[in-house]
Amino acid sequence: MINITVKLLFVLAAIKWGDWRGWKKYYPTIQFFIIGDLFYNLVFHDYPLWRFEEIIPLIKYDIFIMLSFMFLRYPATVFIYLGRFPKEKGKAIMWYLFWVLLYIGIETIDLKIGLIKHYNSWNIWWSLVFDMLLFALLRIHLHRPLLAWGLAVLSSILLWNLLGVPFHILK
């Protein structure tokens, strides 16, 4: 329930502050975001780095929690983050940092109340690095999608090696 509540708050924020008129411009970046998560969930299904869970186990970590991220939180994030991205460099950096800190702050709270668990060498510091990459890649993808895809692949390979993920998980 808490996971869905947080996602609904993201949707309400997107309704208020998101750039809905520009949805066609953001649609490919939303797909980029969702495809990255699908890739993670497919490849790391049996070797998770993190996993979201409900405190009240009405539903266990499964397709419903995964889909609620993909179809509620991710589009809402993109509509607000990219839709209101400042043109001034100083403000743009602050906007980027705001979103990185928002995501890492939510994860920190989720860790404390048991909505997320880390596994296999993952920790909050890796999440911070991941969020920094994520929000940079979302911005890059909006203007240079092929560059963003290339950087996403390189970042994934680098993180895979730094975390020492075994190759046997690729079955």
Q: What is the 3-state secondary structure (H, E, C) of 95-139?
A: HHHHHHHHHHHHHHHHHHHCCEEECCCCCHHHHHHHHHHHHHHHH
Strand partners, 50: 118
Considering only 46-55, 67-76, 157-166, which range has the smallest mean pLDDT? 46-55
**Which domain covers residue 69, as residue numbers?**
2-169
Q: How does pLDDT run across 11-63, given as a tens digit for each residue?
A: 999 999 999 899 999 999 999 999 999 999 888 888 999 988 765 555 555 67
The encoded tokens of residue 101 equal 């800190």
How much is the pTM? 0.90
Task: Tell me the average pLDDT of the chain.
Answer: 90
The total number of structural domains that make up the chain:
1
Helix (H) or strand (E) holding 52: strand 50-52
